[in-house]
Amino acid sequence: MAIIEMKNVCKDFKIYKRGKGFWGGVKSLFARKDEIKSAVKDISFSIKPGELVGYIGSNGAGKSTTVKMLSGILLPTSGDIRVNGIVPSANRKQNAMNIGIVFGQRSQLNWDLPTEDAFELYRRMYRVSDAVYKRNVDMFVELMQMQDFLRKPVRQLSLGQKMRAEISIALLHDPKILYLDEPTIGLDVLVKDRIRDFIRRLNAEKKTTVILTTHDMTDIDRICDRIIMIDQGRLISDTTLEGFKAGNAEAYNVIVEYTHAIDAPPDPRVKLLKTIGEGRALFTVDRQAMTVNEILEYFSRAYKITDISIKRPEIEEIVRNLYQKMSPS
Amino acid sequence: MYALRLYMAFAKVRFMTQLEYRGEYFVRTLSKIIAWSTGFIMVMVLLTRFQAVGGWTVYEVLFLYALNMLTHSLAGTFFMNSFENLPRNIRQGVFDGVLTKPVSPLFYYVCTNVSAGYTSNYVIGVSVLVVCFAKLSIPVTLLNIVWLIAVILGGCLIQAAGFILTNVPAFWILKSESLMTLFFDDVKSFLQYPITIYAVGIQVLVTFVLPYAFISFYPAQYFLGREDALFHPLFQYLTLPVGALLYFVAVKVWNIGINRYNSTGS
Amino acid sequence: MTGMYLALLSRTFRLQFQYRGETFFRIAGNIIRIYIQVCIWAALLGVSGAADGDVTLPDMVTYVAAAFVLRTLTRTTLAHKLADRVRDGSVAVDLIRPVPLIGYMFFEQLSENLFALVFSGLPVIIVSCAFWGLVLPSALNLALFILSALLAVLLMFYIEYIFGLFVFWIKNGTHMVMLVGGLFTVFSGATVPLWFYPPALAAVCEWLPFRLIAFEPISVYLGKYDAWQALRVILLQLVWAAVLIVSERLVWRAVQRRMFIQGG
């Protein structure tokens, strides 16, 4: 039985165009042109209880629109959405009890009250029983290490503290589903790690279904079992994490800065993507084929290096590559 | 009961946090007192010099003024912060959170935006009403007191509907702030003086189209024993039903707005 | 420098043009406010007009319209803008900008007010003229009025700005705006000319700068003063401008001290 079911879902927006410059401004005083933009085009997928799903795509791909439709904030233009058996936008209150939602870029908590009091308020709103409340708060405070700032007003928390508080609050009522919209954006590595561990732990203990949108490859690696990728509103791939990695992510981007090249035999496993100006080049290397050690060894033989960086490709890049593969135009 | 307890929890939090910054609370209270008393002061300056406007003496005009101010402040406690900022909250996407809660959107939205800044206004409004009762020798009978409370309640409902209806267009128009300025603040300023000094068209406007005259002018007719209104004397008694009807309409329109937001987003 | 200010002016105008709906609503709102004032004066002077031999209804209509023009030109949101800058921390950048913050903000505000005067003030003046008729001044009075109106703008901007600077201590600009607004209403004579004030209150107004922003320039326009009295008004405005400029420097220095010690 699927807990989330999207069938042929589309979402169109009407956008208004404004004239540019002074006279354009004058003209738009009197006439205005509308334009239809499809944010989500015919997307279908189904998610089973307890799945950890990464929902990825470049900016403006339609990720947030999808999450908003799943949480009942937006109504689809066409298609069918069921979340835990109900239509979210038609039964908003009932749906709210089943879901927890966190927007990384937009805080829900902008009060001057201590974090603890915010918990208390949400407890009342979601009618959480005392036993469940106590058990959850104890668990969240311990796992997210929130003891130090429970009495601090929410407004004064650091970004990382605030995000931990937001996630905890979204989970107070034991929702079956958790939507996380870029939860680790702008956070430092330690906090990111703590949040990732927490989500895995939550999933293991409570079988919470998680849908996560992110731009961070490590988030995907550490949290998700399944990856759904969209681009320009269309679903372009839906695979397991392994399938996704095998298909796309198993490469390193190596940027080398060098004073000069040394005559060494070329390695077929290293592909030059492009040279960036004088003495700088970008290579791609298959992760399966070479270890980091071998990469370093090769480049130190082939170049007199002044600087080197070995990175995994950004999600945007993977999406772009995949999209180009799919529509060779 | 659940709703009431939840409201109390929210209100407590809002009041506590607003009282936390005591320096700021003091400045806010002071500035509100000054801003609202200037209205009273100017009425007094004018009517000390000219005795009457449209046949209404200084305390009669102050009575009008106090009724408007008191109901504005009572309704504003719940609807000012929430609705004045509705256009901005929609533009910035803050409103999304309102739709993911297990309570009615209007209730949640009002609860999280209760204002503690009107306490001084209640005091000024009630004091001026008391002074007017004394100076105008309006008999303090049980009936009059009950009637005054009913009139204030009706006035609050009209004001609340005004806050809601002039800002709900934000669901359709990106920048709708000027609607509230014009159709709430500006049009309501007709009520500072007896509406009989304006052209007939204006009296029709504030009676039938934007019935703000039921907040102060018509109920004041009853207490002052006046019958100088253009329309039927029965209008003096209609504040509460007009308020209930308007508020009902406002909630309906709000729900239409929510549905619209549901299909377009911000 | 001039180039930057011109760019600022054109940017402000473009920005304001985007809010087309607002301009129409503002015109309607302004007409309502002026109409109310005119009705009140008609009702008041109708009863005891005879007692005020030299104040006629056309005088008062003109007074209302002139007060409206001055209010449009002198209205500011400087305190709000300062508060926003303090809250998001961008004021730290302002401190090291090559252009002084006050100059930048004054000009931005002036551009907005000029836009408001042309696109929402002028239509209102035309309507007032058509419906109620306005008193036209002599060329000399008009020139003196324009001069003192400009000084009035400077005075009001400085007052708002100085009050606005207190957001460094109290964090919220709204209440300072309300406070200045309240003081302006009572002491400027913008809604009720000081002729009609009780003597005690009028005496207080004498000692405050607010009447120089509304009542005195309008009196100059209406020809209630001869040339020498008008020059005296302008001189007094200059004295107050000097006082305010010095005060602003003092408060600004206190702000800087606070910034360096507490980091904003």
Band of pLDDT at residue B106, cut at 50, 70 and 90: very high
Instruction: For chain C, positions 7-36, list CB contacts with chain A under 8 A.
Output: 10, 13-14, 17-18, 20
Mean pLDDT, rounded, for B81-103: 88
pLDDT for A106-139, tens place per residue? Answer: 776 666 678 888 888 889 889 999 999 999 999 9
Q: In chain A, which residues have their Cβ closer than 8 Å to the Cβ of B15?
A: none
Q: What is the ipTM of this complex?
A: 0.85
Tokens standing for residue A162: 């605030």
Identity at C207, one-letter amino acid code: W
Contact predicate C233/C223, CB 8 Å: no
Q: What is the pLDDT of residue A329?
A: 46
- Could you tell me which of A236, A214, A233, A235 has the C-alpha nearest to residue A65? A233
Would you call B248 helix, strand, or coil by DSSP?
helix
Mean pLDDT, rounded, for A232-248: 81
Residue A63: Cβ within 10 Å count: 25
Backbone φ and ψ of A181, nearest 5°: -100, 100
Band of pLDDT at residue A325, cut at 50, 70 and 90: low
Residue C75: Cβ within 10 Å count: 16
Q: What is the pLDDT of residue A112?
A: 66
Band of pLDDT at residue B61, cut at 50, 70 and 90: very high
Q: Provide the residue ranges of all domains of chain B, joining segments of one domain with +.
A: 2-260
Residue C81: domain span? 2-262
DSSP string, B16-42: HHHHHSHHHHHHHHHHHHHHHHHHHHH
Would you call A152 helix, strand, or coil by DSSP?
coil
Alpha-carbon distance A102 to nearest alpha carbon in chain C (angstroms): 23
Please indicate if any CB of chain A lies within 8 Å of the CB of B5.
yes
Band of pLDDT at residue B51, cut at 50, 70 and 90: confident
Contact predicate A177/A98, CB 8 Å: yes
Residue A34 has pLDDT above 70, yes or no: no
Q: What is the pLDDT of residue B172?
A: 81
According to DSSP, residue A313 is labeled: P
Contact predicate B147/B239, CB 8 Å: no
Q: What is the pLDDT of residue C108?
A: 84
Bridge partners of residue A271, in order along the sequence = A284
Q: Lowest-pLDDT range, A151-155, A323-327, B28-32?
A: A323-327
Q: Lowest-pLDDT range, A40-49, A280-289, A300-309?
A: A280-289
Which run of H or of E encompasses A15? strand A4-17
Q: For chain A, give the mean pLDDT.
A: 84
Contact predicate B187/B211, CB 8 Å: no
Q: Using CA atoms, how far apart are residues B136 and B139, in angstroms rounded to an integer?
A: 9
Contact predicate B162/B209, CB 8 Å: no
DSSP string, B47-112: HHHHSEETTEEHHHHHHHHHHHHHHHHHHHHHHHHHHHTHHHHHHTTGGGGGGGSSS-HHHHHHHT
The answer to whether B38 contacts C182, with C-beta atoms less than 8 Å apart, is: yes
Residues near B81 by beta carbon (within 8 Å), at least 6 away in sequence: B113, B114, B115
Q: Which of B23, B53, B198 is opposite residue C44, by nearest beta carbon?
A: B53
Contact predicate B249/B161, CB 8 Å: yes
DSSP string, A90-137: TSHHHHHHHEEEEESSS-S---SSBHHHHHHHHHHHTT--HHHHHHHH
CA closest to A21 among chain C residues: C14
Alpha-carbon distance B173 to nearest alpha carbon in chain C (angstroms): 10
A61 vs A96: which has the higher pLDDT: A96
Q: Which of C33, C43, C175 is opposite residue B28, by nearest beta carbon?
A: C175
Alpha-carbon distance B65 to nearest alpha carbon in chain C (angstroms): 15
pLDDT for A187-238, tens place per residue? Answer: 898 999 999 999 999 999 999 999 999 888 788 888 999 999 898 889 988 9
A57 vs C203: which has the higher pLDDT: C203
How many domains are there within chain C?
1
The answer to whether A73 contacts B101, with C-beta atoms less than 8 Å apart, is: no
Q: Using CA atoms, how far apart are residues B73 and B76, in angstroms rounded to an integer?
A: 5
Identity at B68, one-letter amino acid code: N
The answer to whether A106 contacts B94, with C-beta atoms less than 8 Å apart, is: yes
Q: What is the pLDDT of residue C201?
A: 93
Bridge partners of residue A209, in order along the sequence = A177
Mean pLDDT, rounded, for A5-26: 70
pLDDT for C206-239, tens place per residue? Answer: 999 999 999 999 999 998 898 899 999 999 999 9
- Could you tell me which of A313, A188, A66, A251 has the C-alpha nearest to residue A196? A188
Q: Using CA atoms, how far apart are residues C19 and B201, in angstroms rounded to an integer?
A: 29
Q: In chain A, which residues have their Cβ closer than 8 Å to the Cβ of B92?
A: 106
Identity at C12, one-letter amino acid code: T
The answer to whether C39 contacts B197, with C-beta atoms less than 8 Å apart, is: yes
pLDDT in tens, chain C (264 residues): 577 777 777 777 777 766 666 778 888 888 999 999 999 999 888 755 544 556 788 889 999 999 999 999 998 888 888 887 777 777 777 767 666 778 888 888 888 898 888 888 888 889 888 888 888 888 999 999 999 999 999 999 999 999 888 888 776 777 778 888 889 999 999 999 999 999 999 999 999 999 999 999 999 999 889 889 999 999 999 999 999 999 999 998 888 787 766 554
Instruction: For chain A, positions 5-44, list CB contacts with chain C under 8 A.
Output: 18, 21-22, 25-26, 28-29
Q: What is the pLDDT of residue A245?
A: 72
Q: What is the pLDDT of residue A30?
A: 58
What is the longest distance spanned by two Cα atoms in chain C?
Answer: 63
Q: In chain A, which residues have their Cβ closer than 8 Å to the Cβ of C17?
A: 22, 25-26, 28-29
Backbone φ and ψ of A270, nearest 5°: -105, 120
Bridge partners of residue A230, in order along the sequence = A235
CA A1 vs CA A83, A84, A85: distances in Å: 11, 9, 10
Backbone φ and ψ of B131, nearest 5°: -60, -40
Band of pLDDT at residue B34, cut at 50, 70 and 90: confident
Query: Could you give the count of Cα atoms lying within 13 Å of A267 in the half-sphere of its Cβ?
Result: 18
DSSP string, chain C: -HHHHHHHHHHHHHHHHH-HHHHHHHHHHHHHHHHHHHHHHHHHHHHHGGG-TT--HHHHHHHHHHHHHHHHHH---HHHHHHHHHHHTTHHHHHH-SS-HHHHHHHHHHHHHHHHIIIIIHHHHHHHHHHH--PPPPHHHHHHHHHHHHHHHHHHHHHHHHHHHTHHHH--HHHHHHHHHHHHHHHS-SSS-GGGS-HHHHHHHHTSSGGGTTHHHHHHHTT-S-HHHHHHHHHHHHHHHHHHHHHHHHHHHHHHHHHHHH--
Q: What is the pLDDT of residue C263?
A: 55
Residue B266 has pLDDT above 60, yes or no: no
Q: Using CA atoms, how far apart are residues A77 and B262, in angstroms rounded to an integer?
A: 10
Question: What 3 state SS string does C79-102 have?
Answer: HHHHHHHHHHCCHHHHHHCCCCHH
Q: Using CA atoms, how far apart are residues A170 and A179, in angstroms rounded to an integer?
A: 9
Please state the pTM of the whole predicted model: 0.82
Q: Which of A106, A111, A124 is opposite residue B93, by nearest beta carbon?
A: A106
pLDDT for B203-260, tens place per residue? Answer: 999 999 999 999 999 999 999 988 888 888 888 899 999 999 999 999 999 999 998 8
Q: Using CA atoms, how far apart are residues A315 and A298, in angstroms rounded to an integer?
A: 27
The answer to whether B17 contacts A74, with C-beta atoms less than 8 Å apart, is: no
Q: Using CA atoms, how far apart are residues C68 and C247, in angstroms rounded to an integer?
A: 28
Band of pLDDT at residue A248, cut at 50, 70 and 90: low
- Could you tell me which of A303, A315, A308 has the C-alpha nearest to residue A292? A308
